[in-house]
Chain A
């Protein structure tokens, strides 16, 4: 592919003397830092950063960008990641100087617009989740989980209970056990039924007074709604166990059902998935009389997770999105996300094994076990898809499905795109039977071909150095 011709790093464009910056000369009497600061604190020589022109930079990074697939350019069915269209209006709003250039420690009287936005967003998210209150502070899903588990820990401790274990299904996202472990709990993995659902009888036997929480993803990581979830919540509560929902898959249930109504005590969800922000997460905004203020009088708080109030720039984007969609628009998000996923599942069920029979929610999980018998793995299929112009589904997740291909189309994709993707998947299934070489060779249209992961790990090369 033509783009592959470009193989530069910014350092390799450097030419001594070139400049890309524009800074005014010093207008104060003493500008010599050697006279202002002790020599022991000063750098001995200028840092080895590139010396390039502004246009060098613009062309270099424009070219690098073309070596990526993004949602704007490619269908990106990465299951569990909800790669939907990021509306351009969100970006314009986040860049308004009143938001983008606002200092986090500006006095409350000088940041009322920001605090109002956070307050309203938290209210709306609480309504969507069926919860009493929302913290906007966590920076990402993993930090949200960490916060949730710490809150559960604080809850038990405040009731004089020192429970030590958290139950996590074997189908869970890797962050669930990792966040739980950092919060100081022993993680106990719970086996799922073959269809991915919770084995309720086994769970009931595992629940005791040493269990602090049961953490579960709804819909689950096989794209299915957990049919006995209300019963599961009740079982847990009977033993004083808190029920935590990983809301990574919230895109499936907007206005249809709510974590709070399902019996969950705590949940997190991701603004960069369901609420169309590029990356980020979730600060306190409490209404106080006629104005808005940060509420610091929370003696039982688990503390702070970020220096400031959360990823405010992302909050502006999520708020813009919510105000664009309104309640009916949001409901139609989930309806169409579910429709699109079921459509893909139906069109592919003859050529691939379906992990669990449908209907599914917002994503479907296929297994390439049939193709594997022909020597074609989930990885191979993923690479071939790149050549056919699509980013790949999530592969080998959930761990309980052999050769898993997890496909999440989202509501923002059209039927034409879904059809083109399904056609490509069917073509690959045929190729697996008749022309596997073309799959094993893939990708050939990308800037590089399959990469040597072993070499990367055995001989870590993590920074550029000038070759002698």
Chain B
């Protein structure tokens, strides 16, 4: 059976079997019990030739409303940010794209150097001492932070603000099930964490207090005040932040965070229906030996030349097995590479500009949309690039109507918070134009009339 991905011809197979001393391929399968053998071909869809498969895939893709075919105002953890062209070209180089975990550092210096650059950039943005080489996504990063806080403090409760993305909070709950870590919710009735209420929940059993800024509703949280509450009780402060905002917003480390995690998709990674994403993880240096995931460090080779290796591996599963700080092995190195090239491309001034433009356009959009009859901003707290809009008609139906006008109108909040069933979460990135926002406002006006 010929396949373009397999080189061996029938004649070559025969020659190789001759060297092996086997009469047939079947003879190589003698150890498999006969009763466990599959006696029929797999019941799969038939193979397609390349041009037919491309036609099929394009037809599937065409049934999706994407951010090219529609004007995207959706966020909630995945954003339509600008992706500079060189990123795709560079990550597609086979030397990067088809390499694996750098077990042989001498033949993996390209990957190791880019991870070291990534760690440096993330530490700088988050205002922390060290960053790891990445976790799967923002949600699993947060879950790992909860486990790490439990390990560091030997305490069994984590207090999570309801301002933390509910999609992330669900994953924390999954990870905390095994170790028996109890999760307690601190309310955010006015769009920001009720810190007085949080203070009552944080105590001698608390491993960590977790806040997100800007939070799920788009509002900015008082990180310094949260840090005081956590630290007064001997707990860690974990802050969830979107690194693409940190050209403008203060790094949470400078405001007292002990661990900063977040979803790094905005850093040049395609939305791709939610994955692969990029889990950002950074901490204070005192905590480095309890960190999950790969770490790359600088060292020297036997001639004294600078080189890079995976280091502090005694934290990891392949060495410590059941006693490892985490079970993570393969990470999302290619997404981390996208983020590294993104941050190099945007650089010192570009990332600031992305933040400024996103905030400016979001504020213009909020003002413009809130003028639509019956529509208002749900919360009064300061926001950044995302805000919660209260609508006079069911948001799900508004979204369907606006899709027909070419807009991905935002994320209806009913499934996340029943109290916000009349609300739509709207994100505005630097890519949106005033004309698109004005068009969106006009379309919304008709949809809610």
Name the residue in A47, A141, A394 with the highest tally of chain B Cβ atoms < 10 Å from its Cβ: A47
- Per-residue CB contact flags for chain B residues 352-378 toward chain A (1 = under 8 Å, else 0) read 111111011101100000000000000
Does B197 count as interface, using CB distance less than 8 angstroms?
Answer: no
Does A453 count as interface, using CB distance less than 8 angstroms?
Answer: yes
What distance in Å separates the Cβ of A332 from its nearest Cβ neighbour in chain B? 5
Partner of A456, one of B48, B137, B297, B434: B297
A42 and B47 contact, Cβ closer than 8 Å, known pairs A187-B322, A359-B20:
no
B53 touches A320 (CB 8 A): yes
Tell me, in angstroms, the Cα distance from A10 to B110 when the chains sit together. 12
What distance in Å separates the Cβ of A334 from its nearest Cβ neighbour in chain B? 9
Name the residue in B69, B180, B437 with the highest tally of chain A Cβ atoms < 10 Å from its Cβ: B69
Does B177 count as interface, using CB distance less than 8 angstroms?
Answer: yes
Does B167 count as interface, using CB distance less than 8 angstroms?
Answer: yes
A48 touches B348 (CB 8 A): yes
Interface size class of A (residues with CB under 8 A): 35 or more
B20 touches A451 (CB 8 A): no
B174 touches A175 (CB 8 A): no
Residues of B within 8 A of A104 (CB): 77-78, 271, 273-275
What distance in Å separates the Cβ of B34 from its nearest Cβ neighbour in chain A? 10
Does B44 count as interface, using CB distance less than 8 angstroms?
Answer: yes
Residue of A nearest to B144 (CB): A182
Residues of A within 8 A of B248 (CB): 33, 37, 42-43
From A62-70, A203-211, A236-244, A427-435, the one touching the partner chain is A62-70
Residues of B within 8 A of A386 (CB): 104, 106-107
Does B227 count as interface, using CB distance less than 8 angstroms?
Answer: no
Does A227 count as interface, using CB distance less than 8 angstroms?
Answer: yes
A43 and B396 contact, Cβ closer than 8 Å, known pairs A279-B276, A461-B298:
no
Tell me, in angstroms, the Cα distance from A37 to B385 when the chains sit together. 11
A33 and B31 contact, Cβ closer than 8 Å, known pairs A101-B68, A113-B61, A347-B19:
no
Tell me, in angstroms, the Cα distance from A106 to B336 when the chains sit together. 25
A98 touches B60 (CB 8 A): yes
A184 touches B312 (CB 8 A): no
Question: Besides A305-B174, A328-B41, 4 other CB < 8 A contacts?
Answer: A36-B360, A73-B94, A225-B32, A257-B32
A327 touches B250 (CB 8 A): no
Tell me, in angstroms, the Cα distance from A222 to B369 when the chains sit together. 63
Residues of A within 8 A of B323 (CB): 181
Residues of B within 8 A of A54 (CB): 84, 86, 345
A227 touches B31 (CB 8 A): yes
A49 touches B361 (CB 8 A): no
**How many residues belonging to B are interface residues under a CB distance threshold of 8 Å?**
205
Residues of B within 8 A of A64 (CB): 109-110, 113-114
A78 and B100 contact, Cβ closer than 8 Å, known pairs A9-B116, A33-B356, A452-B299:
yes
Interface residues of A in 92-137 (CB under 8 A from B): 92-107, 109-114, 116-117, 120, 124, 127-128, 130
A142 and B327 contact, Cβ closer than 8 Å, known pairs A227-B31, A336-B6:
yes
- Per-residue CB contact flags for chain A residues 45-63 toward chain B (1 = under 8 Å, else 0) read 0111111101001101110
Tell me, in angstroms, the Cα distance from A73 to B96 when the chains sit together. 10
Does B156 count as interface, using CB distance less than 8 angstroms?
Answer: no
A463 and B119 contact, Cβ closer than 8 Å, known pairs A58-B86, A278-B98:
yes
Residues of B within 8 A of A97 (CB): 61, 66-69
Partner of B347, one of A19, A142, A325: A19
Residues of B within 8 A of A179 (CB): 327
A139 and B72 contact, Cβ closer than 8 Å, known pairs A58-B90, A127-B42, A262-B36:
no
Does B309 count as interface, using CB distance less than 8 angstroms?
Answer: yes
Residues of A within 8 A of B357 (CB): 23-24, 26, 31
B7 touches A184 (CB 8 A): no
Residues of A within 8 A of B109 (CB): 64, 67-68, 446-448
What distance in Å separates the Cβ of B149 from its nearest Cβ neighbour in chain A? 14
A30 touches B299 (CB 8 A): no
A461 touches B297 (CB 8 A): yes
Which 7 pairs of residues, A with B, have the shortest CB-CB distance?
A308-B274, A72-B94, A98-B61, A326-B47, A104-B274, A184-B178, A113-B63
Does B195 count as interface, using CB distance less than 8 angstroms?
Answer: no
A89 touches B53 (CB 8 A): yes
Does B99 count as interface, using CB distance less than 8 angstroms?
Answer: yes
B68 touches A303 (CB 8 A): no
Residue of A nearest to B223 (CB): A41
Tell me, in angstroms, the Cα distance from A86 to B318 when the chains sit together. 25
What distance in Å separates the Cβ of B55 from its nearest Cβ neighbour in chain A? 11
